[in-house]
Amino acid sequence: MATDALAPPAVACAHCGIPVPADALDAAAPRQFCCAGCRAVWTLLAEHGLDDYYAVRDATDAPGRPARPSGRAYAELDTESFRARGCRAITGGLLATDLVLEGVHCGACVWLVERLPALVPGVVEARLDLPRSQALITWDPRRVSLSAIARRLDGIGYTPHPCRGGAAREARRHEDRAMVIRIGVTGAVAAAVMHIALALYGGALDGIEPEAETFLRWMSLVITLPAVVWGADVFFRGAVAALRVGVLHMDLPISAGIVAGFVHGAVNTVRGKGDVYFDSVTCLIFLLLVGRHVLRRQQRAAADRTELLASLAPATARLIEDGAVREIPLDALVPGARVEVRADDTIPADGVIVAGRSALDLSLLSGESRPVEVAEGDRVHAGTVNRTSRIEVRVERTGEDTRVGQLMKLVDEHARRRAPIVALADRIAGWFVAVVFALAAGTFLFWLPAGAGRAIDHAVALLVVTCPCALGLATPLALSAAMGRAARAGILVKGADVLQTLTRPGRIWLDKTGTLTEGRLTLVRWVGDESAKPLVAALETHSAHPVARALVAALGSRSGSPATSRETRGGGITGVVDGRRVAVGSPSFVASETGPVPASLVADAERCAAEGLTPLLVAVDGSAVAVAALGDAPREDAAAAVARIARRGWEIGVLSGDHPAAVESAARKIGLDPAACRGGVTPEGKLERVTEERERRAVVMVGDGVNDAAALAAATVGIAVHGGAEAALAAADVYVVRPGLAPVADLIDGAGRAMRVVRRNLVFSLLYNVAGAALAMAGLVGPLVAAVLMPVSSLIVVASSYRARTFDREPAR
C-alpha cells in the first residue's frame, strides 16, 4: 500500500477552517492557512477591520470554503461595449450592474459582500441576492473602475462574472412580479367576498333585511369583478388557446366553472333572487393562481441555478499583441489573432498551436478521458482544456464557426424539434370536460319539469362544485413540492414533465467519462516490484504531466527533487533518485532506455492495454521491474446505482466517445452488459442513436460534455451531471449537482414516488368531484355547501403534496 496521508493532527486554516496540509504548515506563524488564497483574504479583511466576518460566520454556523482567487484582470468589464450592454446609469453619475458571484453560500457571505463599500472606496452600495448568487453593485465610475471592484471581489474569494441574458432576465422578473400582484389582488378579493358571504349565510339562517341583503350581494358582485375579469384572465386565455388548437385542457373546465358561477351570480344579483357563488368563484381563482405560481417558481429556480453555472464559463481570451498579453472579450476575438492559453485554461477558439507543448483534456468534446499530447503545428478546438503548460494558439475559427459552435447549432435544432409531453392532468381534463358538460346537461334536463330557473340553478351548482380546483392543484403542487425536495438533494429539475416521463421505464444511455468513471486518470493496477513505488513517486513529484499527477496522487508526493530528470514527449521520464536510475514511461520508451524487457512484464502490459488501460513500465537501474496501469477508474457508487436503475426496469447502455476497450472494461466492472456499451461514438453518432430510438420509447441520456449536448437535447429527458460543460447544462432537462450516478438513481426513484403522490391527489380530487356532482344532481348543493367543499378538498391536496417524502435522501450529510 502507498503511504497513508491522513496522519498528522489537523490544524484548521484561519480562513476556511479546513485542515492545513502538512507541507503548508508554518510552525512559527501565529495563524495557519491552507493556501495562499486563504492567507490573502485573511490579511485583506484584517487590514480593513472586517475580521468580524469570522465571528458572523461562526455565529451562522456555516462551513468555510477555501478561497481560490482566479487572479484575472477583468479588463473586459471596463470596455465601452460592456458598459453599454451590462450597466445601468443611475442618478448622480453612478452606474449599477449585476454580477454573478462564485462561492457565496451563507449569511456571512452576504455580510462580507455588502461591506464592499468599506473595502473599495467608490463603491456606493452592494446588495447580494443569495439564492441567485447575484450581487447588485452600484459604484461611482469617476472614483473606481468596475474591473478594480471585480478584482477585489475575486481577491476575497468570490470570483465575479458578468450576468448573461440581461433582457430575458428582466422580462422574467417582470412576469414574476405581475403574477405576484395578480395573486395578491385576487387573494384580497377572495377574503373580502368571503367576509360578505359570511354575513349573507348568517342572514339566510337567521333572517336579514332585504335591503341589506341586496346591498351585500351587489358589493360582492362589484368586488368579484376584478378577480374574474383580470385575475382569471390566465385561465380564459389558456382555454381559448386550447379550443383554437382543438385540444381539451385543464383550463377549459376551470373557465367553465368560473364563468358559469359568476354569470349566474351576476344575473341573480340583478334579478334580486336566487343563489350567488361569488365566494366560491374567487376562492377558486385564488387557489389555482397560487398553484400555478408555485410550480413555475420551482421550475424557474432550477433554470436560474443552471444558468448561473453557465455564466461561470470564461468569456475572455488572452490576446498576444506586440509582445504584450491583454484580456479581451471572446466576442472580439477574430481569426488570425494569436492568443495565450495558460495551464488549466479553456481554449477559446479553434486554431493551431504556434508555440509551446502541452497535454489537452478533450473529454468535453470527444469524451476521451486520456489527455492528448499536443505540440506546435497541432490543431486545437475551443472548449478543450489545456492541462499542463502554457501554449500559444493562432486562431482560425471563432464563435459559431468552431466545432463546439457547430455542435451547439445541432443542440438548438433538436431542442426546438422536441415534442411537448402531455401532462397527465391534461389528459384527464379531456375526459373531465366531456363528462362534466354531459352531467350538467343531464341535470338541467332532469330538473326542467320543476321549472327552468331551478334547472339552471342545479346545473350551475354542478359546474361550480365540480370545477377542478383540487384537480388543478393536484399536479402542480405535488410536482413543485417534489422538485423543491429534489433541489435540496442536489437534483435540479427544469421541467415538471420530466418526473412523469421517468416513471415509465425505457432506455437510459450513459456517457462513460465522469458519469460511470471518475473522469480522470488514476493508478488502477501495479504489477511487479513494490519497492519501486517511492522511487517513482519521487521522480514524478515535479512533473506537471497528467500521468505524473495521477501517479503522485496514488503513491504520495515526496519532497526532495531527483538529481536529474528528463522528460521525453509521448515517451516518459527518466531521472536519478537516491542514487538510482529510474525510468517511467511507455513500454517502447522504457525498452529503448533499458534494452530487452522481461517477457512476463510485456505480457502484463499487453493485458492491461487490452483492458483499455494505459500501461507504463517502470525500470530501476537499467532493468524493468514493474508495470503501472493507468486508467479511468469506475466510481465507487456506479455499480450500486446501475443496479438500482435496472431494478426499476430501465435498460441501461453506454454511449461514449472514449476508446471501445476502455468502455468495455468499465462496463464489465460495473456489471453492465458489454453488448449494450458502445465506445468511440461521435457526437453525431450519439444524436443519431438517441433520435432513432426515441421514436419507439422514452430515451434518457445522461452526459456531461459538449459531445453529449445534442443527444441530451434530443432525448426524451436529458440529464447533465456534475462538472459538465455549459452546453450540456443548457441542453439538459435535469442538472445533477452531486457527482456520480447515484443522484440519477435517486431521481428515477424520486420521480416514481412523486408521480404516486400526483396520482393519489388526482384520485382524491376525482372522488370529490364525483361526490359533488352527485349531490348537485340531487339538487342538494347550495352556495354554502360549495363554499365549504371547495377549500376543504384543496387543503387535503395541499397537505398530501407537501407531506410526501419524495426526494429525501437517506441520512443526509
Binding site for another protein (CB under 8 A): 52, 55-56, 58-60, 107, 110-111, 114, 128-132, 173, 176-177, 180-181, 184-185, 188, 191-192, 196, 199, 208-209, 212, 215-216, 219, 223
Minimum CB distance to another protein, residue 301 (Å): 11
Minimum CB distance to another protein, residue 15 (Å): 15
Query: Cell numbers at residue 670, please?
Result: 460495473
Minimum CB distance to another protein, residue 339 (Å): 38
Minimum CB distance to another protein, residue 222 (Å): 8
Minimum CB distance to another protein, residue 173 (Å): 7
Task: Give the phi and the psi of residue 691 in degrees, each rounded to 5.
Answer: -65, -40
Closer Cβ to another protein, 118 or 181, answer by number: 181
Closer Cβ to another protein, 175 or 413, answer by number: 175
**DSSP, residue by residue, 213-281:** HHHHHHHHHHHHHHIIIIITHHHHHHHHHHHHHT---THHHHHHHHHHHHHHHHHHHHHT-S---HHHH
Closer Cβ to another protein, 10 or 212, answer by number: 212
Minimum CB distance to another protein, residue 436 (Å): 33
Minimum CB distance to another protein, residue 196 (Å): 7
Closer Cβ to another protein, 289 or 690, answer by number: 289
Closer Cβ to another protein, 55 or 643, answer by number: 55
Q: Are 298 and 484 in contact (CB under 8 A)?
A: yes
Q: Are 467 and 286 in contact (CB under 8 A)?
A: no
Q: How many CB atoms lie within 10 A of CB 243?
A: 14
Minimum CB distance to another protein, residue 307 (Å): 16
User: What's the CA angle centered on 737, arms 736 and 742, to 5 degrees?
Assistant: 60
Closer Cβ to another protein, 206 or 695, answer by number: 206
Closer Cβ to another protein, 22 or 168, answer by number: 168
Residue 250 CA to residue 229 CA, distance in Å, equals 19
Closer Cβ to another protein, 370 or 485, answer by number: 485
Q: Are 497 and 716 in contact (CB under 8 A)?
A: no
Residue 299 CA to residue 735 CA, distance in Å, equals 12
User: What's the CA angle centered on 703, arms 698 and 705, to 5 degrees?
Assistant: 140
Minimum CB distance to another protein, residue 198 (Å): 12
**DSSP, residue by residue, 433-454:** HHHHHHHHHHHHHHHGGG-HHH
Look-up: residue for cell 513494490? 530
State how far the alpha carbon of 757 is from the alpha carbons of 93, 441, 467, 475, 730, in Å. Answer: 55, 33, 21, 9, 29
Residue 668 CA to residue 635 CA, distance in Å, equals 13
Residue 580 forms beta bridges with which residues?
577
Q: How many CB atoms lie within 10 A of CB 429?
A: 25
Query: Is beta strand 623-634 parallel, antiparallel or unpaired with respect to 517-528?
Result: antiparallel
Closer Cβ to another protein, 92 or 131, answer by number: 131
Closer Cβ to another protein, 198 or 610, answer by number: 198
Closer Cβ to another protein, 216 or 706, answer by number: 216
Residue 700 forms beta bridges with which residues?
508, 717
Query: Cell numbers at residue 287, please?
Result: 387557489
Closer Cβ to another protein, 192 or 354, answer by number: 192
Minimum CB distance to another protein, residue 208 (Å): 8
Q: Which amino acid is at 591?
A: A
Q: Are 630 and 547 in contact (CB under 8 A)?
A: yes
**DSSP, residue by residue, 655-666:** E-SS-HHHHHHH
Residue 706 CA to residue 779 CA, distance in Å, equals 63
What ranges make up the beta strands (E) of 91-172? 94-101, 123-129, 134-139, 160-162
Q: How far out from the chain centre does Cα 212 lie?
A: 57
Minimum CB distance to another protein, residue 52 (Å): 5
Task: Give the phi and the psi of residue 266 in degrees, each rounded to 5.
Answer: -65, -45
Minimum CB distance to another protein, residue 202 (Å): 12
Q: Are 76 and 327 in contact (CB under 8 A)?
A: yes
Minimum CB distance to another protein, residue 29 (Å): 20
Q: Which amino acid is at 192?
A: A
What ranges make up the beta strands (E) of 153-218? 160-162
- The packing angle between helices 638-647 and 660-670, to 10°, is 70
Closer Cβ to another protein, 95 or 192, answer by number: 192
Minimum CB distance to another protein, residue 230 (Å): 12
Query: Cell numbers at residue 5, please?
Result: 496521508
Exposure string for 81-111, b = 16+ CB within 10 A, e = fewer? ebeeebbeeeeeebbebbbbbbbbbbebbbb
Closer Cβ to another protein, 212 or 438, answer by number: 212
Minimum CB distance to another protein, residue 117 (Å): 14
Minimum CB distance to another protein, residue 152 (Å): 20
Minimum CB distance to another protein, residue 386 (Å): 37
Closer Cβ to another protein, 191 or 640, answer by number: 191
Residue 90 forms beta bridges with which residues?
94
State how far the alpha carbon of 94 is from the alpha carbons of 97, 113, 135, 139, 150, in Å. Answer: 10, 19, 16, 6, 17
State how far the alpha carbon of 779 is from the alpha carbons of 279, 440, 487, in Å. Answer: 20, 12, 47
Closer Cβ to another protein, 44 or 136, answer by number: 136
Closer Cβ to another protein, 175 or 376, answer by number: 175
Closer Cβ to another protein, 176 or 412, answer by number: 176
Minimum CB distance to another protein, residue 110 (Å): 5
